[in-house]
Each structure stands twice: as C-alpha cells, then as structure tokens.
Structure 1
Amino acid sequence: MTANIQVGRPLKSLQRNRFIDPQAMPSLIRPDEWVFVPGSSGAPLAFMEQLLHDPEFTRNARLLTSYVPGINALDLAGMHPTGQVTGLFMQPELAVAQREGRFRALPISYAGFVRHITEQVDIDLAVIQLSPPDENGMCSLGPSVEFTPAVLRKARRRLGLINLQTPIVRGSYTVPFNSLDYVCEVDTPLPIYDVPSDSGTEAIARHIAPLIEDGAVLQTGLGKVPTALMSMLRSRRGLKLHSGMLSDGLLELAAAGALDMNYLHTSCVLVGSRAFYEKIRDFHPLRVVGCDISHDPVLLAKLDHFVTVNSALEVDLFGQCNLEMTRGAAISGCGGAPDFARAGRLSRGGCSIIALHATHRRGSRIVPMLGPQTVTTLSRVDVDFVVTEYGVARLKGASVHERAEALIQVAAPEYRSDLQDAWRAIANRL
C-alpha cells in the first residue's frame, strides 16, 4: 500500500520486484517498439547515458522524444545504425542522421504533437523522471510535464526514474508510484538555463514592453529577449502568465508585485537556475500541466488580452516568418510558436509579437521574400507586430504595402535602400 510511504524512506523497501539498476534500463527496450523520452528539464539523462553506452542497446530501437535545442543535446553517435529517433526539433549536428533516416524531424507544433501521440503512435515504453513519492505515494513530474500525460494514457509500460534532484512542485502533474512498472533511483542534476543579455536584446525588449499592458496574459518563448523582457515588466500590475516555458523571470515578476497572485500561472515546463528550482517548490499560484492543456487551441482561444512573444530567424516583407532554417539547413523546429501566435492574433485585446535582431553575420534578417531554401513557420496572418532593436513594425490593420514599409523601417539602416528597391520590384507584380 502506497499510503504508508514516507518521504526519505528507502524506496527499495516498498516494491522490490519493480526496482532495476541503471545498467539494466536498456534491456527494457525491445526491437521495433516505440519508447518515449521527454525533453527539457524532465529529460531522463541517466537513462540516455546507459542507452548510448553500447550501440547494441539501440539496435532497431524507435525513440520518440521532445528534446529541446539549447536545453538538451541529442547525440546519436552512440546509437546503432538501425536505431531511429523521432523528434520535434532539428539540431545542426543531426543533419547527417536526418539524411540517413536515423533522425526523423516532425514538422508539427506542440498541439499537433499531442494529437500525433494520441492518434498516430503506440507507446510501448514511457520513460519519465519524477520526484520521490510523497506521503500519499504520489510522484511529482516537478518542473517538466510536457507531453507526459498524453503519453501515459497510451503507454503499455512505464519506467520511472526517481530522481533525488527533481523537486516536488506544487501544482505540477503527479503520477502514482504504484502505477510504475519499473523504478530506477538516480541522482541527476537538472539542466541549467541561463541566457546572457546584450545591448541589442535589451533594445528589443524595451520596444516590446509598451505593447504589454497591466492585466495582460503573457506568453514568451525561449531565448534572450524573453529573459530581458521580464526585467522590463516589473512595473506592470496584474500580469498573468500562460506559456510553454517559464524561468527565473516568473519569480522576479512576483517579487516586484507585477503578477496577479490570484491567477494560476500556467506552463508545461519550468527551466532555469538552481536557485529557481529550489524556490519554485513553494510558489503556490502556479500549475505545470501537459501540452494538451497549455497549448490546447480551444483553451487558448478563450484567453482575452493574450499577448504572445516569439522569436524568428527571418521575416519577409509580407510578414511571413521563418523560425527553423538558415542557409537551407534546418536548425530547429516550430515548437509551440504557431499555437500561441494564432491565439494571440485572434485574442480579444491580445496580439502576436515576433522579436528578432535586425541582422546576422551574413546580412539582414528582414528579407524581401523568404527564399526557396527555407520554410514559412508562421504565416503573415498570424503576426501583429515585428520588433527589432530599431523599433516596432505594426502589421495589425496594415495593407500589404503598408506592412512592407513598416518592416523596412525596422530593418538595419544599411539594408533599407536595398529592401525598398526589392519591394518596388515585388509590388509591380502584385
């Protein structure tokens, strides 16, 4: 009976027949079965370390993962040539594996991935990382829930890594200890997420801040701009957070009195500093939920004053956004940006903001048209504002020609003349 479990009590005294040593975890994988491995701050690093120790462990293996670039490094060098990984995010080091068919990048958003799990794939083994059980026998997924609820509804078998460093987060999804088929005790640090700011990033954040009013519901993505933006919103009042990821800025805004403390601030992932993981344990107005909730288009459509802030690699003069490719090479995925951008665009009193630096090492990020060697991650109908360090391009309510002019004005000055010439040529064909 799990009702008698006490925190700190040796787990092996509870259900000895379920416990396995770390070295035995790869033996749970059977050829051609699907194994789900979560990402972000819930990535089961101890499992992956053992799995990639010997290529034979992954012979004919089929892994489905939500590893996130910038937080999780996915190294397939230790996999057997017949093993295959399917994921949401491309990473540059996976280019060869993708061409060889050993890595399959799914071009779908987070909401789409929930549906993919629900309707199109059978999960034979779910590998999840949890806190030690509480006095009621419940294990917390701690700072990372992501797709786990949807996966557990499908999984035939469950391997729980009871990680001594996974905090019990109030408001996070919990799993009964006695629902785990296999248990392995580990002691693995959570990934630290820390992005340094710079003058260009701070300039972008300063331009975004006036677009976010008191009482707004705010979503931000990964990267430098969201981090800098949080620091510039400390004077706001009544802010509500609904995002795919929350970090140290959550607690900074709370300490500044900027948050509505009667609102359940929502995310599917928490990732940040070590101090953040410690302090977030007792932050009450918070829920960490599955992407079936955080990215549900029906729920998002009901959010008024929903302001979404996402980044892009390129934006063209029509307002189309590329979030995934550079120089023809795939380097990332769309993540939850399409889900949130569309919701912000349609929200009553809300808006969809795209933030990016005006230039990169090879030229302008504001381009005449997205090229033939790239993709359109966000269509022009899902963007209200484009913000660079040079200002704000208001696309909401603007005509095709007015949009182009506004975007040219937030490009780097040295590229504006060329962009104007290019737009004249495009406009003559419209």
Structure 2
Amino acid sequence: MTLIGAPAIRTGTACRVGDPADLVRLLSPGERIHLPGSGAEVPALVEALCAGDAPPLNVTGSFVPGINPTPLERFPQGASYTSSFAHPAAPGLQTGARFRHLPMSYGGFASYLASQSFDVGVVHVSPPDARGMCSLGVAVEFTPIALRNCRRIFAVVNPRMPRIAGAETFDLARADVVAETDAPLREYDVGAPTALASRIAERVAGFVDDGATLQVGLGKTPDALMHKLADRRRLRLHSGMLSDATRLLAESGSLDPAWRHMSCVHVGTAAYYDWLAGRGEFRVSACDVTHAPATLAGLRKLVAVNSALSVDLFGQANLEMLDGRMVSSVGGAADFAHAASLSADGVSIIALPATAGRNGVSRIVPRLDGVCSLPRHAVDVVITEHGAADLRGASVMERAERLIAIAAPAHRGALQDCWKDIAARL
C-alpha cells in the first residue's frame, strides 16, 4: 500500500492543553483534520469546532448516524465534512460542497484514507501505561490509517476509555498536543427486543450453526439474533461493530474460547464498556484489517447478517436511501456480504421487516426505489417475519417467486402483477 508522505519525526515533549475544546485554537483555517467517530468521538472538541470563532476546516470523519450527532449546518461558513456515511441533513448541503458524501464501504473508505494526507489527526485513548502506551479501547476504526499521514497528532486522554488487551495502541510520545478529559463515551442502547425483531431473528438463527463465524450490524434484529444464539457453541465473532449482546454470548458459553473475536469498534452502554475493560478475548483493529478481502476470505462458515431499507424482486438491496434522501451508508455490509456469498460454506443474509411505517408500505418492492447497495449476486437469503427466501441456486424467476412469498400477504398480489410485467420483458 502506497502512502503519501512519510510519518513526521517527532521530538521533545508534547504541548499540553486543558480541555479538548482548547485544541481548536491550535488549528488554522483550511486545514485538513481527521476526527474519529462512534465511541471515540470527542464531543467537546466537535462542539468547539461549531463555535462562532472556530476556523473553517476540511473535516474527514466516521460519525455514525444514530450514535454521533453530526452538526453539518453548524460548522463555520467555508468548512466541509467528508464521510462514507450519509447523514440526514438540510437540502443543498451536498450540492454546496459543505457535505462530501463518499459512497464507499468501510473497506473502500479505509483504502481511500490510506491515500490521503492530513494536517491534524485526533486520537482518543486511555491513560498511558508505564511504557507510555495508550489503548484505543472500544474504537479503532480508521484512526491508525489516518495517523500514518498526519503532520500533527492531537491526543485526547480519557480514563473512561477502557484498556482492552487486544485493541490497537498508541505511543503517547508520538503526540504533538495532549488534552485530558473525563467525559463519558458515546453510547448506543438498542433497547428491549420487540416481538417483530424476535420473529425475524428466530428465522435468521436457523442459518447459524455451531462453529459459525458471525457478522452482524446494529439494531433490534441483530440484538435479538444474539439472544437467540445463546445455545450455540464455538461461535466466532468477526464484525465491524459489536455491542452489548456480545456479553450475553460470552457469559452463556457460546463463544469459541480459542478465538480472538474481532471488530473495528464496540458501541454500547457504559456498563458494556466497563465489562470490556481488561478482557483478553477481543481484538479491536483498524478497518484495513477487519474489512480486508484477504482477512474475510480466510473466515470459515461466515454468516453475514445485515439489514436493508428495501429489497427488490431481483434480490437487490437498498441500505442507504429512503424517500429520495440518503439516510445511511452501506458501511461494512458490502465487504462482508460479498465475502460470505463467495465462501463455499458461508451465507449472506438480509433481514428486514416486511413492511414499514404507519401505512405498512411493503419493503419487498418490484424495483428498488433507491440506490443498489448490494447487488443480487451478494445476497443469498432474504428474511422477513413471514419466512426466508433462499435465493442460492435459484433462477431469476424462482428468486422473484420466493421473495413475493415472504412479503406481507396484503402486498403479494400487487407484487405478482408487477413481476408479470417485468418478466414479460426479460
């Protein structure tokens, strides 16, 4: 992998400031800065970047919708924000270049960052050990990739960031500036499982055998799935994000004790973060490791479970667009879905409710009403509360029939009529 520029040589003692908000006064207009997201976000710094006297910066980050509030409208005039995640925002922010959405998977965004250079990179870490090494704790993601090509590094040291034995580390001596804080990390609480999520999860669980390697996204259905798998044994977790239900599997004896369970980030409740501290069975690595094709190709019995906003009768999935607006990103789903579908013993699953909204609009649709996030060849099984459509080895006609069969009963007739018109032109 070719990097732009060489790592800066850092000598002497880092400058120390007080609160992370004080870091803003060390920034100049137009500088390129990389900010970590998910549990590694530094809210005080982000808030300071929106202040009236803050310089306009070119910010690149990985703020996750639903976890990290992204103040696109509040950034100073002339600032821009670049991310692989789409964020619900006021119309015109993309056309005005204030928000630069890069439609990339996690693996693609990792490759992109490896070719970029930044004036400043921010890293959010635990307090250093006796050797001066800090843990990146619950959130590694893209930070190590970005730090390779930063002129300056701003480190935020936080005792709330748990030290995880398998997480990547940062030598505090590399920092140009160090700030300290004692602030809670961003949390994600999925809440209690719903009856609908549990029904869908029950069907998904039928595809997860003992010894499988599991990737799941975030949300009520993935959380409910983890609860359904408490009776499995020797499960291996390899996912972009892991959350509180991981603890349930660990304490129920479901996880393979000989395997270092990997993710690029953990997002959950404060209690979950406390539980992770000091544990040795988890590895938290950068996305150019967790989502690398070579890494994913080596996983046995990979079961990739992801959600979608809609699936059409060809088996294509839209994970990003709703009612004409970009509301999310493909994230790591594309990386894992392709790997699972190509694996001889793997399976790529899309799990979603059959309907959405108060009006019960069908999420199985004749044609996608948004972008195609996952092509049909990367989707093996589609599951709703009404059943599982196994598309493996099925013809185009058979795929449509099986997808219509798991749509909400009230929509099946209309879907059959639409498919007759589509099929007549194939």
TM-score (norm 2): 0.94
SS in 1 for 2:283: strand
- 1:45-81 residue CA offsets vs partner (Å, 9 max, x unmatched): 1211222122x3132x100000001111101233112
Query: Matched residues in 1 for 2:18 and 2:90: separation?
Result: 30
Contact 1:67 1:88 in 2 (8 A): no
Matched, 1:274 2:273: no
- 1:262-300 residue CA offsets vs partner (Å, 9 max, x unmatched): 100000001111111111113211100000100001110
Query: Matched residues in 2 for 1:31 and 1:381: separation?
Result: 46
Matched, 1:143 2:141: no
Match of 1:18 in 2: 15
Query: Matched residues in 2 for 1:298 and 1:58: separation?
Result: 41
TM-aligned CA deviation for residue 192 of structure 1: 1.7
Match of 1:389 in 2: 385
Output the aligned Cα RMSD.
1.3
Contact 1:94 1:103 in 2 (8 A): no
TM-aligned CA deviation for residue 24 of structure 1: 2.6
Sort the Cα spacing of 1:94 and 1:72 in 2 relative to 1 into closer, same or farther, 3 A.
farther
Return the match for 2:106 from 110, 114, 125. 110
- Amino acid of the residue matched to residue 58 of structure 1? P
Match of 1:192 in 2: 187
SS in 2 for 1:27: helix
Match of 1:183 in 2: 178
SS in 2 for 1:308: strand
Return the match for 1:368 from 344, 366, 369. 366
TM-aligned CA deviation for residue 156 of structure 1: 1.2
- 1:371-403 residue CA offsets vs partner (Å, 9 max, x unmatched): 3xx210000000000011111010111110110
Structure 1 unaligned regions, length at least 5: 1-14
- Amino acid of the residue matched to residue 296 of structure 2? L
SS in 2 for 1:218: strand
Query: Matched residues in 1 for 2:81 and 2:59: separation?
Result: 5
Query: Matched residues in 1 for 2:188 and 2:92: separation?
Result: 27
- Amino acid of the residue matched to residue 207 of structure 2? L
TM-aligned CA deviation for residue 169 of structure 1: 1.2
- 1:134-179 residue CA offsets vs partner (Å, 9 max, x unmatched): 1111011110000011111111110001112111111101000111
TM-aligned CA deviation for residue 39 of structure 1: 0.5
Match of 2:55 in 1: 58
Query: Matched residues in 1 for 2:92 and 2:55: separation?
Result: 18
Return the match for 1:157 from 152, 155, 161. 152
Query: Matched residues in 2 for 1:131 and 1:86: separation?
Result: 27
How many residue pairs end up in the alignment? 411
Contact 1:238 1:259 in 2 (8 A): yes
SS in 2 for 1:99: coil
Percent identity (aligned): 45
Q: Which piece of structure 1 moves more, 258-267 or 38-47?
A: 38-47
- Amino acid of the residue matched to residue 158 of structure 1? I
- Amino acid of the residue matched to residue 57 of structure 1? A
- Amino acid of the residue matched to residue 148 of structure 2? R
Matched, 1:217 2:213: yes
Query: Matched residues in 1 for 2:183 and 2:50: separation?
Result: 17
The correspondence of residues 246-257 of structure 1 with structure 2, limited to 5 A, is 246-257=242-253
Query: Matched residues in 1 for 2:265 and 2:394: separation?
Result: 35
TM-aligned CA deviation for residue 88 of structure 1: 1.4
Match of 2:424 in 1: 428
Q: Which piece of structure 1 moves more, 282-291 or 378-387?
A: 282-291
Contact 2:14 2:176 in 1 (8 A): no
- Amino acid of the residue matched to residue 93 of structure 1? A
Structure 2 unaligned regions, length at least 5: 1-11
Contact 1:202 1:225 in 2 (8 A): yes
Query: Matched residues in 2 for 1:244 and 1:336: separation?
Result: 6
Match of 1:84 in 2: 80
Match of 2:338 in 1: 342
Query: Matched residues in 2 for 1:309 and 1:114: separation?
Result: 21
Bigger proportion of residues as helix = 1
Match of 1:47 in 2: 45
TM-score (norm 1): 0.93
- Amino acid of the residue matched to residue 333 of structure 1? S
Match of 1:295 in 2: 291
Contact 1:58 1:79 in 2 (8 A): no
Query: Matched residues in 1 for 2:309 and 2:212: separation?
Result: 26
Matched, 1:304 2:291: no
TM-aligned CA deviation for residue 32 of structure 1: 2.2
Query: Matched residues in 2 for 1:94 and 1:187: separation?
Result: 33
TM-aligned CA deviation for residue 424 of structure 1: 0.7
Query: Matched residues in 2 for 1:320 and 1:128: separation?
Result: 38
Matched, 1:233 2:229: yes
Query: Matched residues in 1 for 2:392 and 2:66: separation?
Result: 31
Contact 1:29 1:35 in 2 (8 A): no
